[in-house]
Amino acid sequence: MEKILRVDMGAEGGPKTTLVPPGEYAGLGGRALTSAIVSKEVPPLCHALGEENKLVIAPGLLSGTIAANSGRLSVGCKSPLTGGIKESNAGGMASQTLAKLGYAAIVLEGKPKTDNLYTIFVNKGGVKIESDNTLKGLGNYALIEKLKAKYGDKVSYMSIGPAGEMKLAAASIACTDMECRPTRHAGRGGTGAVMGSKGVKAIILDDTGVSMRPPKDAEKFKEANKRWVDGLKKHPVTGEGLAAYGTNVLTNILNEAGGYPTHNFMWGRFEGHTKISGETEAALEKERGGNPTHGCHRGCVMRCSGIYNDKYGNYLTKQPEYETVWAHGGNCGIDDLDTIAMLDRLDDDYGVDTIEMGATIGVAMEAGLAKFGDGEAAINFVKQVGKGTNLGRILGSGAAVTGKVFGVERVPVVKNQAMPAYDPRAVQGIGVTYATSPMGADHTAGYAVGSNILGIGGKTDALSPEGQVDLSRNLQIATAAVDSTGMCLFIAFAVLDQPETFQALIDMINAFYGLNLNGDDVAALGKSVLKNEREFNIKAGFTSAHDRLPGFFSRDALPPHNIKFKVTDAELDQVFNW
């Protein structure tokens, strides 16, 4: 990945491309690269939708290679949702394709001087940017169908739906999957709004005639990858559990543990949990000719994604993930999988983050705009976002804005970003991550659920504040490093439990780049990423007061354990003290 493509969307006479070597960013990939560029080049106090913000799209260090599960993409910018730095991580085919084409990153800069919408086409021959206003207002599914007529289905697409064009703070960027459907999203933090602000509707990546990236030491790399695949296949979670039921297997366990946020974080258990569980979802998919065992990108051996068909056996959407099923399910009191799948389809089509959207609907229901459990109302809410009605634009701006507009106190956000599917009172470790991650409330930033609930990477008491700060700190450091490799975060389940699998990952990086890194170097990389991100946020006006959960988590006890969030402010302030 020897070059960075910079596209000035605000240049006189239309978008202008520049190809530059990585320079000071050489050796960085994924989140390390997006956060380095954003923290160095974007003024922290700028408007997220203004000309000074940049959208950075970067494959990971091992993307575009034969390394298993190396196809995750990082998308970075100043977030219009949080006002802080953002790295949103997506599966799909874009990362592998972009890396194979030799790009360390695409950076969208400036602000268009017209209302034109553009497509950016990249192949081995170069870059072509075209204005195409016939694409305006198209949902991601219709858009990709239209683009396929021109570019075919052997390329990768990144795109925004109407929500991104409207520059709504919950807008996502869709990446097409192996079936060329727009199902894998850089969902969190409003990256789609930033792409919309740059006037870019779609990026088309065509790797025709391009080979896999060659390692420095091919033999060592191949051998390390074999150990890597063996390690992933050997671990019961990455080898079997994820493939059988997908991520939604968590519904029952979080519910049983009393940490399943229900009715906008009112309770920790949901009566209808078995109706929407991973077990039920997988069985339904099989029954209807879908598929519960499917990789979101080429080279995935864990295969936790899937295909969800409607009751007539026709494709409806990808298998809704645990977070999506929760956000639109228990969080809104909805216990019908077809309703949840339709909401997932609409979210993907309009291009909004499923977590933010579900949490927002929960807040809207709390405000009395609809009753909890009303699936039709939930579908109507999302359709209003797609249409851009006044209410839709409020909802599409996320849970925090919706809570303010409708006078709701119980709004589950940190740094204005909605919490995912674990109540921090019953899973105290994830509460520390929610509070302190530079990203806002984000379970992937330091997945303490593994140790708190699942017994992975050690065991900590989910209901006690004891040890949670150390746990979250270590996980946030490790995650920042993993997010820089292009590896799917789920590899952590095997890496945390099997030292030899962690070593195989390091050996792959060393063999590929001709390096001699060890575990300490990986930790140092993670710390440097977090340091860049923290410094950006501090300059953007964030203080320790922003590293807190909303007050109701410390005030209101959560049934069934009747427990409050007990990690103190002083302890939270120690997370980044290493």
d(CA 472, CA 447): 7
Spatial separation of the C-alpha atoms in residues 98 and 203, rounded to whole Å: 11
450 contributes a contact to other proteins by CB under 8 A: yes
Interaction between residue 236 and other proteins (CB under 8 A): yes
Distance from C-alpha of 462 to C-alpha of 487, rounded to nearest angstrom: 27
State which of residues 141, 493, 512, 553 lies at the interface with other proteins (CB under 8 A): 493
Instruction: Rank residues 541 and 560 by Cβ distance to other proteins and give the closer one.
Output: 560
d(CA 456, CA 210): 39
Binding status of residue 185 toward other proteins by CB under 8 A:
no
The yes or no reply on residue 241 touching other proteins (CB under 8 A) is yes
Query: Is 277 an interacting residue with respect to other proteins (CB under 8 A)?
Result: yes
- Strand, coil or helix: what is 463? coil
| Unique residue bearing structure tokens 């507009």 | 405
Nearest distance in Å: CB 140, other proteins:
24
Are 424 and 430 in contact by the 8 Å Cβ rule? The answer is yes
CA 212 – CA 531 distance, rounded (Å):
32
Query: Six-digit token pair at 433?
Result: 């991550």
Beta partners for 298?
none
- Our CB check for other proteins shows the closer of 15 and 450 to be 450
Q: 262: number of CA atoms within 13 Å, CB side?
A: 24
Contact positions with other proteins (CB under 8 A) in 80-139: none
Binding mask 516-555 for other proteins (x = CB under 8 A): ----------------------------------------
404: alpha, beta or left? (left if phi > 0; alpha if psi -120 to 50): alpha
Q: Is 499 in the site for other proteins (CB under 8 A)?
A: no
Q: In a 3-state reduction of DSSP, which class is residue 573?
A: coil
Give the residue with the Cβ less far from other proteins, 147 or 462.
462
The verdict on 322 binding other proteins (CB under 8 A) reads yes
Contact between 76 and 34 (Cβ < 8 Å)? yes
Residue 24 vs 466, nearer CB to other proteins: 466
Binding mask 291-310 for other proteins (x = CB under 8 A): -------------x------
Identify any residues that bridge with 291 across adjacent strands, giving them in sequence order.
Answer: 307
Closest-CA residue to 243 (of 490, 517, 36): 490
With respect to other proteins, which residue has the nearer C-beta, 316 or 462? 462
State the maximum Cα–Cα separation within the chain, in Å, rounded to a whole number: 63
Distance CA 538, CA 124 (A): 40
Q: Is 327 in the site for other proteins (CB under 8 A)?
A: no
Euclidean distance between CA atoms 63 and 485, whole angstroms: 7
Only one of the segments 50-58, 160-168, 205-213, 461-469 lies at the binding site for other proteins (rule: CB under 8 A); that segment is 461-469
Among 244, 377, 405, 538, binds other proteins (CB under 8 A): 244
Task: Please identify which residue in the block is written with the tokens 């990477």.
Answer: 457
Q: What angle do CA 574, 187, 480 make, to 5 degrees?
A: 35
Task: Pick the closer one to other proteins by CB: 36 or 491.
Answer: 491
Applying CB under 8 A, which part among 29-37, 218-226, 275-283, 348-356 lies near other proteins?
Answer: 275-283
Is residue 463 involved in binding other proteins (CB under 8 A)? yes
User: Exactly one of 25, 270, 447, 542 binds other proteins (CB under 8 A); which one?
Assistant: 447
Kindly state the smallest distance separating residue 317's Cβ from other proteins, in Å.
Answer: 18
Shortest distance (Å) from residue 180 CB to other proteins: 25
Burial of 531 (0-12, 13-18, 19+ CB in 10 A): middle
Does position 560 bind other proteins by CB under 8 A?
yes
The secondary structure of 272-287, three-state, reads CHHHHCHHHHHHHHHH
| Window of 36-44, 278-286, 358-366, 372-380 that interacts with other proteins by CB under 8 A | 278-286
Report the distance separating Cα 254 and Cα 495, nearest Å: 23
User: Minimum CB separation from other proteins for residue 179, in Å?
Assistant: 22
Closest approach of other proteins to the CB of residue 463, in Å = 7
Question: Which residues, 6+ apart, have CB-to-CB distance to 203 below 8 Å?
Answer: 57, 94, 106, 119, 120, 121, 122, 157, 158, 159
231 touching other proteins, by CB under 8 A: no
Q: What tokens were used for 461?
A: 């008491």
Q: How far is the CB of 284 from other proteins (least distance, A)?
A: 13
95 vs 251 by CB, closer to other proteins? 251
Out of 123, 444, 468, 537, the residue judged to bind other proteins by CB under 8 A: 444
Tokens at 194, concatenated: 């930033």
Residues touching other proteins, count (CB under 8 A): 45
Report the nearest approach of other proteins to the CB of residue 190 (Å): 21
Binding segment (CB under 8 A) for other proteins, from list 243-251, 334-342, 361-369, 478-486: 243-251
445 binds other proteins (CB under 8 A): no
Q: Which of 56, 205, 453, 495 binds other proteins (CB under 8 A)?
A: 453
Say how far apart CA 174 and CA 57 lie, in whole Å: 12
Report the C-alpha gap between 144 and 182 in whole angstroms.
Answer: 7
CB 471 within 8 Å of CB 451: yes
Rounded to a whole number, what is the distance in angstroms from the first to the last CA of the chain?
Answer: 32
Q: Is 358 in the site for other proteins (CB under 8 A)?
A: no
514: contact with other proteins by CB under 8 A:
no
Residue 197 as a binder of other proteins (CB under 8 A): the answer is no
User: Hey, what are 311's tokens?
Assistant: 């009751």
Contact string 369-408 vs other proteins (x = CB under 8 A) = ----------------------------------------
Long-range residue pairs from 128-133, CB within 8 A, at least 24 positions apart, any chain: 129/7, 129/14, 129/15, 129/17, 131/14, 132/201
Shortest distance in whole angstroms from residue 93 CB to other proteins:
22
Which residue in the set 96, 119, 197, 252 belongs to the binding site for other proteins (CB under 8 A)? 252
Q: Applying CB under 8 A, does 561 fall inside the site for other proteins?
A: yes
By CB under 8 A, name the one of 93, 160, 363, 454 that touches other proteins. 454
Instruction: Please give the residue ranges that form the binding site for other proteins (CB under 8 A).
Output: 236-237, 240-242, 244-250, 252-253, 256-258, 273-274, 277-280, 304, 321-323, 443-444, 447, 449-450, 453-456, 459, 461-463, 489-490, 493, 560-561
